[in-house]
């Protein structure tokens, strides 16, 4: 029984089939099948039900894969566990929602580099749901996301910052209430594929506000530029995590305690990269606390 075979078994469970696991692990489907047969023989256990076209884990297999995942995580974390906090080194792939890429992430990575110069962080941009899927498939080790309503129990979430949502308007916009401006002006949406976009839509519906959709974007920078050009108004996070102070904009509080978005770091429970993830989390929190940049 090898770590390679256990890792492949975990990949089969995560991805749902031999073929998907083969792509994730850069193997052929036949190699995956061969490894799983050998593993069953070595253990003397029936891990898969092969009565259907696509083999499925048996009850025994499901029980065993949980133990296998723990063994693989322990193996992957061996080197990290014997190093002191000041000797952290290695590579970690970090997902990040686009709204954090021009403020929070650069500031945090600069801090991390000064404290732990031997940690290499690779950034993968994406929306929250995409990043959660990549976490589940072990394609990334951690992700800066907007907290969704429901988080899988296989994840841990560390809050970094909470942000009120505000109405964003151009500097020349008349002094009217947020409701009046939303009803009268073209509306530039934060994409509803994002958690914050769905929060905004839910709030609008709950308040009975009908907007005049003009466009739907996923970049805070693009939305801010459109609003500054007087092409419409928008609702966005009142963010310390992105800097657009060069634009002539005004922020107006939403009426009746508008919603908040919570930005945090999501990781798999029992991650083998705990020390590096803790170092990243510390750098992110410090960056959020120190950044006092407003639109």
Residue 293, pLDDT score: 40
The span from the CA of 159 to the CA of 5, in Å, is 36
Token output for 128: 């929250």
**In this structure, CATH architecture of domain 3-76:** Orthogonal Bundle (1.10)
Q: What is the mean pLDDT of the chain?
A: 86
CATH dotted code for 91-295: 3.40.190.290
Count of CB atoms situated within 10 Å of the CB of 117: 10
Contact 234, 244 (CB under 8 A): no
Residue-wise pLDDT for 126-153, tens only, equals 999 999 988 887 888 999 999 998 888 8
Among 22-36, 84-98, 157-171, the minimum mean pLDDT is found in: 84-98
Residue-wise pLDDT for 150-188, tens only, equals 888 888 999 998 889 999 999 989 989 999 999 999 999
86 pLDDT above the threshold of 60: no
Percent of all residues in the chain with a pLDDT value above 70, rounded to a whole number: 92
Beta strands in 115-172 (DSSP E): 119-125, 142-146, 155-170
Average pLDDT over residues 263-284: 87
What secondary structure letter does DSSP report for 32? H
Distance (Å) of CA 124 to CA 21, 57, 194, 242, 261 = 21, 31, 16, 18, 21
110 pLDDT above the threshold of 70: yes
Burial of 103 (0-12, 13-18, 19+ CB in 10 A): buried
Residue 101, pLDDT score: 87
Residue 243, pLDDT score: 52
The span from the CA of 134 to the CA of 126, in Å, is 10
The span from the CA of 140 to the CA of 162, in Å, is 24
Residue 91, pLDDT score: 86
Token output for 251: 């922020």
Average pLDDT over residues 84-91: 67
Residue-wise pLDDT for 30-59, tens only, equals 898 999 999 899 888 898 988 877 888 889
Residue 212, pLDDT score: 95
Element (H, E) at 133: helix 128-136
95: β partners: 124, 143
pLDDT band at residue 295 under the 50/70/90 scheme: very low
Residue extents of the structural domains in the chain: 3-76, 91-295
Residue 145, pLDDT score: 95
Residue-wise pLDDT for 234-273, tens only, equals 999 887 555 555 678 899 999 777 889 999 999 988 777 7
Q: How far is CA 120 from the centre of its chain?
A: 18
* Pairing verdict, β 90-96 and 212-217: unpaired
Contact 215, 226 (CB under 8 A): yes
Contact 295, 165 (CB under 8 A): no
Longest Cα separation, the chain? 76
């Amino acid at each position: 029984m090898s770590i390679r075979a256990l890792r492949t078994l975990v990949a089969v469970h995560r991805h749902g089939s031999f073929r998907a696991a083969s792509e994730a692990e850069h193997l052929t489907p036949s190699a995956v099948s061969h490894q799983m047969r050998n593993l069953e023989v070595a253990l003397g256990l029936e891990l898969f039900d092969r009565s259907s076209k696509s083999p499925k884990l048996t009850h025994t297999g499901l029980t065993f894969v949980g133990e296998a995942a723990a063994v693989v995580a322990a193996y992957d974390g061996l080197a990290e566990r014997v190093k002191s906090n000041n000797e952290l080194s290695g590579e970690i792939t970090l997902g990040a929602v686009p709204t954090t890429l021009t403020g929070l992430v650069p500031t945090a990575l600069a801090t991390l580099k000064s404290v732990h110069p031997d940690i290499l962080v690779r950034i993968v941009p994406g929306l929250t749901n995409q990043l959660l899927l990549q976490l589940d498939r072990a394609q990334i080790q951690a992700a800066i996301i907007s907290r969704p309503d429901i988080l899988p129990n296989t994840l841990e979430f560390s809050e970094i910052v909470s942000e009120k949502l505000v109405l964003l308007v151009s500097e020349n916009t008349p002094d009217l209430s947020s409701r009046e401006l939303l009803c009268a002006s073209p509306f530039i949406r934060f994409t509803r594929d994002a958690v914050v976009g769905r929060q905004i839509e839910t709030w609008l519906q709950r308040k009975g506000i009908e907007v005049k959709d003009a466009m739907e974007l996923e970049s805070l920078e693009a939305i801010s530029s459109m609003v500054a050009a007087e092409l419409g108004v928008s609702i966005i996070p009142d963010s310390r995590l992105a800097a657009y102070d060069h634009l002539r904009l005004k922020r107006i509080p939403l009426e009746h305690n508008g919603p908040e978005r919570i930005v945090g770091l999501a990781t798999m429970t029992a991650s083998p990269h705990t020390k590096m993830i803790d170092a990243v989390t510390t750098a992110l929190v410090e960056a959020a606390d120190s950044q006092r940049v407003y639109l």
